[in-house]
Amino acid sequence: MAEEKALLSVLRGEARKIPPLWLMRQAGRYLPEYRDVRATTTSFLEFCYSPKKAAEVTLQPIRRFHFDAAILFSDILVVPDAMGQRVSFESGAGPRLEPIETPQQVERLGDFNIEHLAPVFETIELVKSALASDVAFIGFCGAPFTVASYMIAGQGTPDQAPARLFAYRFPDAFGKLIDCVVDASIAYLSRQIDAGVEVVQIFDSWAGVLPANEFMRWSAEPVRRIVAGVKARHPQTPIIAFVREADAHLPMLTQTIGADAYGIDTALDPVWAVAQTASDIVLQGNLDPLALVAGGDALDREVDSILGAFKGRPHIFNLGHGILQQTPIENVERLVARVRRAGG
């Protein structure tokens, strides 16, 4: 029998001397080959919906760095796009959506049209057929609060104040929007699994701005519902929950939402995370992306500190957030070499 893929074995709870390694946003602008493909498309959304090009950039970091997992190249905002909300990406300015400002606009949202995302599922099939047998394949979606925050503000904001105010003023309408995104996310992740991904990750990039009661209502509980919904359809598929800047909530999250692994962000002390969670909980993270930009001895120290903190328990080595555009390729090579020497 072929040896189980490293990422999948850790997600089953195995502690490996050399942890599996992948990086959030590993397919991106720090790679010249990515920039070459991106230059052939007129918009980012067109790029996401171009299966051959999206498959190519999904595979590029695997060819260059031999990571233990590929992650689908797409964007969390394809879900509101498939719900009929107008979505675009402006160069240098990020996503732009037609903002939702009233409860009536929530009511007017269309049903989630999963067939609109057929190009994404075609991308998955193309990547799956090209991946090496030892490389796992990760799909993903945005968590409901994060997706809703873009849908309401119409763009990214530093503190997600538009979505938070909407939730306070119109809790019923905000709850309906969250419900719509939960249902769409369950269907979307399930179709990704049907198409060939082996693991899925839920990204809640903005949950950390919520106070405790609102965090439970609008972040933790919707993520729990997605996990339960996907598990009901695909009980054997591992799920990673990455709830950024929700550090004090980590012990509660690991006990309540039912994921197979939990991503931790840069700010969280891994020693604390290990002490506050059961020894069989799989944790992922949490190198500072700026340490990867800096390289040299600073990078080595941070890598060694993380490896030491997680020694003896199931751990997936990753960043605490996405890789930055200015990251030197040689620093990524240095990171990979240092992690892979951990078992030597």
| Residues acting as catalytic residues | 25, 29, 38, 75, 150
List of residues 6+ apart from 31 with CB closer than 8 A: 57, 60, 61, 64, 329
CA–CA separation, 187 vs 74, rounded Å?
A: 16
Query: CA distances (Å), 244 to each of 101, 204, 220, 302, in order?
Result: 26, 6, 12, 19
The CA distance from 259 to 288, in Å, is 23
Task: Look at the chain and count its residues.
Answer: 344
Tokens at 163, concatenated: 């979505």
Nearest C-alpha neighbor of 78 from the set 164, 158, 181, 166: 181
Residue pair 307/339 in contact by the 8 Å Cβ criterion: yes
